[in-house]
Amino acid sequence: MATVKFYLKSANKQNLFPVLMCYQSKGKKFRFFTKVYVQKSKWQSNYLKPLNLADFKDKEKLDSCKDLIEVIEKQGLTNQLLYSVEEVEMKFREKILTMPGYEEVLNLVQAEKCSKDEESEFFTHFEEFIEHSKATKTKSTIDHYKNCKIIIK
């Protein structure tokens, strides 16, 4: 059976630790940053021990992530399917966007999709420019163009 565990990553400048959810099944896993930041003193036995109202809201987010994984697994079992880790991850990432407290994740995903569409068009034109320039430019200039492309990405 699959496991869902939460881990703390390295502290940020405010000395808060981001919480990472790890789903693992049959040697494969996926990770999800929960957008929850906690103090190390409130973290006990790989879980958040709430001490105030904000902590309870953060604990709710963590519980909702775990509950969502369980719902996805139960749906698979009722349909007599055993989802792979990739399928669980895909379904989880789709459904987490509709949950309360994760509206900012939805906004980031939408912004990322828009920027990827714009990026892809820009970079295809830039790649065409580099290809056409190979006929008239030196190798070092072409390498410079390629490095610029990498920096821009």
Asked if residue 82 belongs to a domain, the reply is yes
Asked if residue 107 belongs to a domain, the reply is no
Q: Are residues 29 and 96 in the same domain?
A: yes
**In percent, how much of the chain has pLDDT > 70?**
86
The predicted model scores a pTM of: 0.62
Q: Are residues 83 and 127 in the same domain?
A: no
Range of the domain at 130: 113-152
Residues 10, 72: contact at Cβ < 8 Å?
no
**In percent, how much of the chain has pLDDT > 90?**
1
Tell me, rounded to whole angstroms, the distance of Cα 136 from its chain centroid. Answer: 43
Evaluate if residue 112 carries a pLDDT over 60. Answer: no
Q: Are residues 95 and 119 in the same domain?
A: no
Please report which confidence band the pLDDT of residue 40 belongs to, taking 50, 70 and 90 as the band edges. confident
Per-residue pLDDT tens for 58-81?
888 888 888 888 888 888 888 888
Asked if residue 22 belongs to a domain, the reply is yes
Q: Residue 123: its pLDDT value, please?
A: 83
Asked if residue 122 belongs to a domain, the reply is yes
Q: Are residues 32 and 81 in the same domain?
A: yes
C-alpha 77/C-alpha 6 separation (Å) is 24
